[in-house]
Amino acid sequence: MDASIVFAVVAGIIIIGFVGEFFFRKTSIPIFISLIITGIILGPVLNIFPRQSVIPVLAPVAELTLLLVLFSSGLSLKARVVIENGGRALVQAAIYIGLSSILIGSLGVFIMKWGVLPSFIFASMISGETTAALLVPLSKWMRISESVSSFLKIEAATNSILLVVLFFAFVQVYNSPGINLSTAFNGVASQFSVGIVVGAILSLTWVYTLYRFQKEKFTYILTLGLILITYAVATQLGGNGTLSVLVFGLVFGNYYLVNKLFRRQMNLDFLQNELGAFQQEISFLLTTLLFVFLGVAFVITPSHVVTNVSVALAILLILLTCRFVATRVSTFKSQLSTAKREILLMCAQGVTPATLAILAVSLQLPYADTFVNIVTYVIIMTNVITTAVAVASARKHKTEL
């Protein structure tokens, strides 16, 4: 394909993403849907980007997007808020993902006849993610309290980590028939431990490094390099690299605790503000490409549309039911209970399911094409629900004023 055509199409994608983001700020209608549709048009419909030629670049773009989103999530979480709401958010994530994984996995085994491991690989993609990329701005737009917004942020970060870990645990078992599920989950526990320790140690080193070089040019590029080093080192040592990156973001976002711990007088406020702005730009670009790629990976099979949409609707019902239970338990006898409805319906999925569905295609897992299609439908459906709730809530606030 001519380079000028590729550049023109990429430019068009970026412009669509920018217009979609602007439209989102004005209307609260998420850009994910328009980006996915754009990808479907560019891929399976017009074949401008043939699916097979794009697949080799899907995995690195997807993983890098996930890393930057998690780093940004950690950066925005403050220690006080984590301590106050972290326990309940962890309960919410554990119940939501645990219940929905079992039910969606069972749906795959008994209804779709995919087999046990493929069914639970699929369940680990779609069972309970909530995307901070949509929930954070919508929380402000809906005037949700800081405690509820923080609860949703922590839940979103926890959901992503749990799903990534479950996905790779099931994939490991699938690719290594001699490994049983117990061994795999012991490995998961080990990955968590190593990931946290490595992330904490490297984070302390990187915070001091960034303090020393914060007045130099290209500090964000240095930070990006440190994020990638953290991921690579933690992974090579047998830990969970994505969790280490989240820890890096948490430590950097709460550097004042490092000051207290080591009796330092570091001030990184200016750097945090600069990084926050640039982080949003890079995350926007990668997220835009990720959802367009998800559309490109979509496989149009008219004979399977009704089946896939029906499965997606069944999954949506499972997700809402499990989220209802999780929300009831996690908000019991707390100030969060007054926002149960908002927490329940802030169920929009995004980056993590898209990333894992794309990785399934790259890893050539069984039923990967079907997984991509169903994940795409679920992302669209959950975004529509969350958007409707946001619009209704905003109108309610205007009426009260």
pLDDT digits (tens, 9 = 90+) for 58-104: 888 888 888 888 888 788 777 777 777 788 999 999 999 999 999 99
Q: Does the pLDDT of residue 319 top 50, yes or no?
A: yes
Q: What is the mean pLDDT of residues 157-169?
A: 87
Which DSSP letter does residue 108 get? Answer: I
**CATH fold label, 3-400:** Na+/H+ antiporter like fold (1.20.1530)
Look at the chain and count its residues. 401
What's the N-to-C CA distance of the chain in angstroms? 56
With 50 as the cut, is the pLDDT of residue 401 above it? no
Where do we find the tokens 């190593």? Answer: 194
Domain ranges for the chain, please list them: 3-400
DSSP class per residue in 226-285: HHHHHHHHHHHTTS-HHHHHHHHHHHHHTHHHHHHHHT-----HHHHHHHHHHHHHHHHH
Q: What percentage of residues in the chain have a pLDDT greater than 90?
A: 38
- 127 has pLDDT over 90: yes
